[in-house]
Structure 1
Amino acid sequence: MTEQDTTPVVQRVDARHRYEIAVADQRAGLTAYRDRDDRRVFFHTEIDDAYAGRGLAGVLVEYALNDVRASGMRIVPVCPYVAKFLKKHEEFADIADPVTPEIMDWLEGQLKR
């Protein structure tokens, strides 16, 4: 396998409301979101066990947050991993909004659909 084959590739998959990360053309993980007005609400991030320990979650979330910034949107970190990432990466603080009960109620309604 060449180095290019093992370089992680991240893409936004709007139809599935998530960003996916792949290694050697195999999906290795995802971070899921729902959009509410100008806010992208991240609620779940996972990396397949076969790819654990490679730093892929950080690569995935950093890509996603940069994409949100480029689109002019804001971030709401319901997902514990995204919230933890934001604490370590203050360069995204200017586009992060707090998780509120209103957001949680709205998200619950979105996920029941």
Structure 2
Amino acid sequence: MTHSDNTSPALDTTVTHVPDRHRYELGVSGQPVGFTAYRDNDGRRIFFHTEIDDAFSGHGLSSILIRHALDDVRRSGLRIAAVCPLVAAYLKKHDDFEDITDPVTSEILEFIRSSTQ
């Protein structure tokens, strides 16, 4: 999935799902500037880490990236678990994903620990 977003008129952003790397990548004008990483387990896409290049902070890019990733999860029929603090904060502000969001349990944390080492 690649998506262009013109919500920020100064920045030409794209979000691309890269399943073999378990992440969604954010580009600005064709250059990679960030990603949100996940692992799938038991019908859930568990987001555990998000990064945006410091040079691009303050432009709302993490919100653009996370919104497109969560929209893709909804389309795929999976549920969401947010170990990543940025994704968790996004979900608290945007309750339109509440119906597909699961709480983070000790089992989810252990799965992330074991699958990302």
Question: TM-score normalized by structure 1?
Answer: 0.93
In the alignment, structure 1 residue 11 sits paired with structure 2 residue 16: yes
Q: For 1:34 and 1:16, how far apart are their aligned partners in 2?
A: 10
Q: Which residue of 2 aligns with 1:100?
A: 105
* Shift in Å, 1:37: 2.4
Q: Which residue of 2 aligns with 1:78?
A: 83
One-letter amino acid of the structure 2 residue matched with residue 84 of structure 1? A
Preserved contact between residue 42 and residue 82 of structure 1 (Cα < 8 Å) = yes
* Cα deviation code 1:48-75 (max 9, x no counterpart): 0111111000000000000000000000
One-letter amino acid of the structure 1 residue matched with residue 90 of structure 2? F
Structure 2 unaligned spans of 5+ = 1-5
SS of equivalent to 2:26: strand
Q: Which runs of 4+ in 1 moved over 4 A?
A: none
Structure 1 unaligned spans of 5+ = none
SS of equivalent to 1:11: strand
Which has the larger displacement, 5-14 or 86-95? 5-14
* Shift in Å, 1:5: 8.8
Q: For 1:26 and 1:92, how far apart are their aligned partners in 2?
A: 29
Preserved contact between residue 39 and residue 74 of structure 1 (Cα < 8 Å) = yes
More helix by share: 1
- Match for residue 39 of structure 1 among 44, 57, 62: 44
Q: Which residue of 2 aligns with 1:26?
A: 31
Count of residue pairs brought into register by the alignment: 110
What is the root-mean-square deviation in Å for CA atoms of aligned residues? 1.5
The alignment-based identity, stated in percent, is: 53
* Shift in Å, 1:6: 3.2
Q: Which residue of 1 aligns with 2:55?
A: 50
SS of equivalent to 1:59: helix
Q: For 1:41 and 1:65, how far apart are their aligned partners in 2?
A: 11
